[in-house]
Amino acid sequence: MLRALSPRLAPRAAAAARALSIDASSLRGRDLDTLFSLSGAEVRVLLDMAKALKARLRAPGAAPYTPLTGRTLSMVFQKRSTRTRVSAEGGFAALGGHAIFLGSEDVQLGKNETLLDTARVLGRFSDIVLARVFAHADIDVLCRECPAPVINALSDAHHPLQLLADVQTLEERLGPVAGRTLAWVGDGNNILLTLLSAAGALGYNVRYATPRGYAPDAAVVARAAERARAAGVELVATHDPLEAVRGADAVVTDTWVSMGQEDEAAARAAAFAGYRVTEDLARRGGAKPGWVFLHCLPRKQNEVDDEVFYGGRSLVWDEAENRKWTVMAVFLAQLLGGMD
* Catalytic annotation, residues: 296
Q: How many C-beta atoms surround the C-beta of residue 263 within 10 A? A: 8
The separation between CA 69 and the C-alpha centre of its own chain, rounded to angstroms, equals 25
**Backbone dihedral region for residue 132 (phi beyond 0: left; psi -120 to 50: alpha; all else: beta):** beta
Choose among 91, 83, 33, 56: nearest CA to 329. 91
Q: How many C-beta atoms surround the C-beta of residue 340 within 10 A? A: 12
Rounded Cα distance, 224 and 235, in Å: 9
Rounded Cα distance, 104 and 111, in Å: 10
CA torsion sign for 296, 300, 305, 310 is positive
Choose among 88, 105, 106: nearest CA to 97. 88
Rounded Cα distance, 259 and 276, in Å: 19
Q: Are 327 and 87 in contact (CB under 8 A)?
A: yes
Instruction: Please list the alpha-helical segments (H only) found in 237-278.
Output: 241-244, 265-271
One-letter amino acid of 55: A
DSSP assignment of 140-205 equals HHHHHH-SS-EEEEE-SS--HHHHHHHHHHHHHHHS--TT-EEEEES--SHHHHHHHHTHHHHT-E
Rounded to a whole number of angstroms, the distance between the first and last alpha carbons of the chain is: 25
Rounded Cα distance, 214 and 168, in Å: 28
